[in-house]
Amino acid sequence: MALVGCGGFIGSHLLKAILERTRWRVFGVDLDPYRIQEHLANERLEFLCGDLAERSIVNRIAQYPVVVNLAAICTPSRYMSEAASVIRSNYDHPARLADACAKSGSWLIHFSTSEIYGKTSADSGLLDEDTSEITLGPVPASRWSYATAKLLTERYLFALENLRWTIVRPFNFVGPYMDFMPGVDGEGIPRVLANFSAALVRGEPMKLVDGGLAKRSFTSVHDAVDFMFCLFENDSQGVGQVFNVGNPHNELTIAELANKMRKVFAEIKGVDESLVPLPEVVDGALYYGRGYEDSLRRMPSVQKAERLLGFKALTPLDCALKESLSWFVDHYQIVAE
């Protein structure tokens, strides 16, 4: 199989699991192999440093019967500052790959995003893959550049004749190797768990955007990997379907997340919680830049993955948080000191 974005947060976990649990050969493509160093010598991995901007790479990828595409710019602050690149990376490139897969007959498993559900309100109910209405913000609100491009890609896959496709919509995956630490191995504002972890490691207050009232349900990346194996084993059920991958039991507000993370951090470091800085409230447009808007609740319906693939995310939030934050502390502690 081909794994595009095999060096990213989700891709690195999926690659590891495939190499450990199967005998499959993998053609892995990424711009940066830093998260997958340990696998580069594995004879079942052929790694190519590159991306979907190169047509020759797209054609090579489409020679494989199964293609998983995880490549994307998905750093929230870049949705405002680099909207054009975000759109190219999340529409032009995957559309080109989809064309090549339609021609070669490959099964394309495309990672989209739960962000395509758009500007959901605080009282929005379960988000369903096939029936939920979608409202994105106005064009000057560039926050929606990413969601718009991802949604157009979904529509393109759906519309292409002769393409065998499956779309995956992740709901706030968390785990080791998530994103980056700003100023150390990346720039901009990473997603909330990595950004809060970075603040805790630096001894700085976590920033609660617009009061931290928005809700998210977080999903362990290990559950996401298990979902992929359920999909691989049930391809006849999965082709032509969109799947939410999320854990509705792990919902909380971002302010509640910050409080939980303070506690977990104090436990990991063996210090009193009162020594960990309290979070502080920031204005979304000032923090992220003009054009930032938010979705206030993102709660997945997960019935379809259970019904068609027998998949259910099982990892409780506390376990996922502990694992992610412990990893972050170990990985970046020396850098921060």
Name, in order, each residue with C-beta under 8 angstroms of 244's C-beta and a sequence gap of 6 or more. 114, 127, 128, 129, 169, 171, 300, 301, 302, 304, 305
**Residue whose token pair is 């890609």:** 153
Q: Which two tokens stand for residue 235?
A: 């391809």
Convert 197-211 into a string of H (helix), E (strand) and C (coil): HHHHHHCCCCEEEHH
DSSP tally for the chain: helices H, then strands E: 13, 13
Using rule CB under 6 A, residue 112 touches ligand UDP: no
135 φ, ψ to 5°? -125, 115
Q: Would residue 146 show up in a list of annotated catalytic residues for this protein?
A: yes
Using rule CB under 6 A, residue 99 touches ligand UDP: no
CB of 205 to ligand UDP, least distance (A): 10
Cβ closest to ligand UDP, residue 64 vs residue 196: 196
Q: How many residues sit close enough to ligand UDP to count as binding (CB under 6 A)? A: 15
Element (H, E) at 237: helix 235-238
CB of 327 to ligand UDP, least distance (A): 17
* Sole binder of ligand UDP in the list 69, 120, 145, 172 (CB under 6 A): 172
Using rule CB under 6 A, residue 201 touches ligand UDP: no
Stretch that binds ligand UDP, among 6-14, 27-35, 88-96, 210-218 (CB under 6 A): 210-218
Cβ closest to ligand UDP, residue 39 vs residue 191: 191
Nearest to 92 by CA among 2, 32, 152: 152
* Sole binder of ligand UDP in the list 17, 294, 327, 331 (CB under 6 A): 294
Cβ closest to ligand UDP, residue 282 vs residue 308: 282
CB of 195 to ligand UDP, least distance (A): 4
Using rule CB under 6 A, residue 119 touches ligand UDP: no
Q: Could you give the CA distance from residue 190 to residue 173 in angstroms, rounded to a whole number?
A: 13
The active-site residue out of 64, 146, 177, 288 is 146
Cβ atoms within 10 Å, residue 333: 11
Please calculate the CA angle 22-241-27 and round it to the nearest 5 degrees: 35
Q: Which two tokens stand for residue 229?
A: 């194996």
> What's the chain's length in residues?
337
Q: Which two tokens stand for residue 45?
A: 């991995």
Stretch that binds ligand UDP, among 24-32, 43-51, 55-63, 188-196 (CB under 6 A): 188-196
Using rule CB under 6 A, residue 115 touches ligand UDP: yes
Using rule CB under 6 A, residue 212 touches ligand UDP: yes
Cβ closest to ligand UDP, residue 106 vs residue 253: 253
- Tell me if 306 sits within 8 A of 312, measured CB to CB: yes
Using rule CB under 6 A, residue 76 touches ligand UDP: yes
Using rule CB under 6 A, residue 89 touches ligand UDP: no
* Sole binder of ligand UDP in the list 35, 150, 164, 216 (CB under 6 A): 216
Taking 3-state DSSP, the helix, strand and coil percentages for the chain, each rounded to the nearest 5, stand at 50, 15, 35
Which positions touch ligand UDP (CB under 6 A)?
Answer: 76, 115, 172, 191-192, 195, 207-209, 212, 214, 216, 254, 284, 294
Residues marked active site are found at 146
